[in-house]
Structure 1
Amino acid sequence: MDPSLIFMFFFMPFFVNCKDDEDGVKFATKCEVCKITSFELEEKLRVTRKSHQVIESCYSLDACNKKTKYRVSQTRLEDSLDELCERMLQYNIHKERTDSTRFAKGMSQTFETLHGLVAKGVKVDLGIPFELWNNTSAEISNLKSQCESLLEDHEEDITNWFFKHQETVDLRTYLCKDKYLKDSDATCLTEPMGLPTSAGATA
């Protein structure tokens, strides 16, 4: 049997089924964008939540008279927001999944299988060069762009949550359910975060 036919037999049904639009591309919904963005921000904040660092506000070389705990400072929030949307590029689209877990870190199960076939010498033709298989997909580039817009448009909401509400409500509820998705579908917020398919995937 022609090795390329092995790929056609096992994987053609998958690619036919995932054709949600002309190119099989299904961009993140508002719900998915907010869910992932809020998760990543809370993860970054979690790293520094027990910090005992104290920062000083200096108005001149001789005037450093205001001390603030880093944990409750604007600086901590800004540090956590810095390059937050770059973290979207750690995600991949897992087209074998149908809910919001299709956005997850690590290689999708389908591409893990395809790479395994190539490693065994099977000819696999996706219509693009092998070296481009792991390039950032249109869905992930769009996810990053939507994340940037979300942070820009809801900077005040995020700041209010950080200083006034984070001890009583999670960001997913405060920002996504109550603000960003107030008049939109928020179903995905009850779904778990997508998990990598392999233990060695980037966390």
Structure 2
Amino acid sequence: MMPYRTLTWSILLVVTCALSSCSSDQFDEENYGVKYADECEVCKIVSMEITALLAESAHKHEVLETGYSVEKSRTKTKYTQSELRLLETMEAVCERLLTYSVHKERQDWTRFARGTSETFRTLEGLVEKGVKVDIGIPQELWHKPSAEVSYLRTQCEVLIEDHEDKIETWYFKKQESESLEDYLCRQRVLKAKDRSCLDILPAQVKDESKASRQKKKRKKEQKTEL
């Protein structure tokens, strides 16, 4: 049972938050460490996943036949250029986000990513060594979708519903010349002040860029020595 003082303090926090009209994400972040995806993160991640899903289906060579008139020949369309492919992609993308985890050791949008976070890898390592670990969550639930990931999935559904026409226009007319991130997020969904996450590279890309710069620097130093 929760101690009386702790229970009283929790109730006080809820009441204070309600009276001051503070947002639920502020309350969750301050008191439970829950930080929900902002609009930029949602748009960026959804754009990435739609692009990835389309890339996965790009190898399909099926030809679809449409039309029901007995007087006219049925229209043939390549699957990769079809509306069906787009619809299947948009139906699958939000559910796909449930495979994400929150990597709390990261501070930018890359905190949402697949794979076990460094924090949970450390905890699992302790458990394997026989250390008793109690974080208030049963171990069997450690890898279930967190509140942040569930919220990300919900916001994905909202984004798809609100901007389905824009995604469709990009798919049929712009995907060869523009990325979905630029077309949808940078140009149509996000305000200028909310686009900061679009310019942040994933940690892996940063590491590769850093390694490349260091390699060039070493080569330059070697030439200088010669």
TM range (shorter): 0.7 to 0.9
Structural RMSD (CA): 1.8
Amino acid at match of 1:133: W
Amino acid at match of 2:198: L
- Tell whether 2:119 aligns with 1:133: no
2:122 aligned with 1:113: yes
The 1:188/1:62 distance shift into structure 2, 3 A limit, reads same
CA 1:61–1:21: 2 relative to 1, 3 Å: farther
SS at match of 2:169: helix
5+ unaligned residues in a row in structure 1: which ranges? 1-18, 196-203
Residues 117-164 of structure 1, C-alpha deviation per residue, up to 9 Å, x if partnerless? 001001111122222222211000000000000000000000000011
Distance 1:123 1:115 in 2: 10
Q: Does 1:102 align with 2:111?
A: yes
Structure of higher CA gyration radius: 2
**Greater helix share, 1 or 2?**
2
2:152 corresponds to which residue?
Answer: 143
* TM-score, with structure 2 as normaliser: 0.73
Q: Which of 50, 64, 67 is the equivalent residue of 2:76?
A: 67
Matched, 1:49 2:55: no
Number of the residue aligned with 2:177: 168
Distance 1:61 1:93, change over 3 A: farther
Kept in 2, the 8 Å contact 1:89–1:140? The answer is yes
The residue that corresponds to 2:93 in the other structure is 84
Map 1:10-25 onto structure 2 (within 5 A).
20-25=29-34
Residue aligned with 2:101, SS? strand
**Take 2:103 and 2:70, find their aligned partners in 1: how far apart are those partners?**
53
- 2:71 & 2:129 partners in 1: Cα distance? 68
TM-score between the two structures when normalised by the length of structure 1: 0.81
Q: Does 1:157 align with 2:166?
A: yes
What is the distance in 2 between the residues matched to 1:85 and 1:129? 26
Alignment partner of 1:181 out of 190, 193, 196: 190
Partners in 2 of 1:129 and 1:53 — Cα distance? 46
Determine if contact 2:99/2:145 at 8 Å carries over to the other structure: no
Provide closer, same or farther for how the CA distance between residues 95 and 58 of structure 1 changes in structure 2, counting only shifts above 3 A.
same
CA-to-aligned-CA distance 1:74-93 (integer Å, 9 cap, x gap): 11111211221001101000
Aligned length: 177
More RCO (CA 8 Å, sep 6+): 1
- Asked whether the equivalents of residues 25 and 139 of structure 1 are also in contact (C-alpha less than 8 Å), the reply is yes
Task: Give me the identity figure in percent.
Answer: 50
Q: Are the equivalent residues in 2 in contact too, given 1:100–1:194 (CA < 8 A)?
A: no
Given that residues 50 and 93 in structure 2 are in contact (C-alpha distance below 8 angstroms), is that contact kept between their aligned partners in structure 1? yes
Structure 1 segments (4+ residues) deviating >3 Å = 60-64
Alpha-carbon distance, 1:52 to partner? 2.8
Does the C-alpha gap of structure 1 residues 135 and 65 become closer, same or farther in structure 2, counting only changes over 3 Å? closer
